[in-house]
Amino acid sequence: METIRQIPILISKEFLLEWRSKYALGGILLYVMSTVFIVYNGFIRVAPPTWNVLFWIMSLFTSVNAVTKSFSRENGNRQLYYYTLADPTAVIFSKITYNSLLLILLNLLTYLVFGTVTGNPVKDKGLFFLAIILGSLGMAVILTFISAIANKAKNSATLMAILGFPLMIPVLVSLIKITANALGVITDTSVNEDIWILLAIDAILWALAYILFPFLWRD
């Protein structure tokens, strides 16, 4: 019960921290805008298959940028303070939830900006949004967890990239396939199956993060 009570408090703490360091959020927004602008200048008109892949590449880098600081922005002493106050499962749960919300927001924003600037080829909007939500959940779990691991080591920023990118690929590849359906690039009857697989991957990773995090926590 104590754990469940802690979660909303910890999530609101994350929001507060984000709000206090507005420059970080601003930086990510600026990052989204400038990437879209560069892509626009490079391609002008983007063919749907390219649009699909470009969208997820932009989403990948935005997510990595947004989540990397998840653990490292709180310095050692402050973390020690949380450790004494809160339950580890509450901490990881609130961080993943917060990052999922943040990533859904950022990916929707990327979609909006990219869609208005280069043209919006999405035919099945519902499927596309579902893919964005499932993808954001998966990426948030992986990146948050990797951020927790990398935070334990020296030069954690480099480690974050080395550990994070290969682990993201399975999720990204499934996502690209699903959104290719949403864009009408390919028609696949087994798209429902893909969604279930993605959901299963998300659920397994979420559960693992939940089970394994207490072991990272201890010091």
Partner 1 sequence: MKHWWKILGAVLVLYALIAGLLIPLKPGILEVAPERTQWGNTISLQIKAYNSHFQEAKELKAWLKLDSTHFVPTSHIKVLSNTRLTADFRLPIHQMEEQSKELTLILDNEIDGYSLLPGAIQVTLSDSTISRGFLWSNDLGRIHEPQGLTFPYRNILYETIRNLFYHVPLWFAMLILLFISMIYSGLYLKSMNTKYDHAALALTQIGILYGILGLITGAIWARWTWGDWWSFDVKQNMSAIAMLIYLAYFVLRSSFEDDEVKARVSSVYNIFAFTTLIPLLFVIPRLYDSLHPGNGGNPGLGGEDLDNTMRMVFYPAIIGFTLLGAWLANLAYRYLRLEEKHLEE
Residues that bind partner 1 (CB under 8 A): 142, 145, 149, 152-155, 159, 162-163, 165-167, 169-170, 173-174, 177, 190, 194, 197, 201, 204-205, 208-209, 212, 215-216, 218-219
Please, what is the minimum distance in Å from the beta carbon of residue 34 to partner 1? 28
Query: Nearest Cα to 124, choosing from 191, 55, 197?
Result: 191
Asked if 205 contacts 136 with a C-beta cutoff of 8 angstroms, the reply is: no
If the CB atoms of residues 21 and 190 are measured against partner 1, the closer one turns out to be 190
Do 127 and 71 touch, CB atoms closer than 8 A?
A: no
Classify residue 189 by its DSSP letter: T
Residue 137: DSSP 8-state? H
**Shortest Cβ 76–partner 1 spacing (Å):** 14
Give dist(CA 42, CA 59) in Å, integer.
18
Least separation in angstroms between residue 204's CB and partner 1 is: 6
Looking at residue 173, the DSSP 8-state letter turns out to be: H
How many Cα atoms sit within 13 Å of 31 on the Cβ side?
18
The span from the CA of 178 to the CA of 180, in Å, is: 5
Nearer to partner 1, 93 or 114 (CB): 93
Nearer to partner 1 among residue 109 and residue 159 (C-beta)? 159
**Which of 36, 146 has the CB closer to partner 1?**
146
Q: What's the min distance (Å) between Cβ of 22 and partner 1?
A: 32
| AA letter at 118 | T
Shortest Cβ 112–partner 1 spacing (Å): 28
Pick between residue 29 and residue 212 the one whose CB is nearest to partner 1: 212
On the 0-12 / 13-18 / 19+ scale of CB atoms within 10 A, 167 is: middle
Work out how close the CB of 12 gets to partner 1 at its nearest, in angstroms, rounded to a whole number.
Answer: 28
- Shorter beta-carbon distance to partner 1: residue 20 or 218: 218
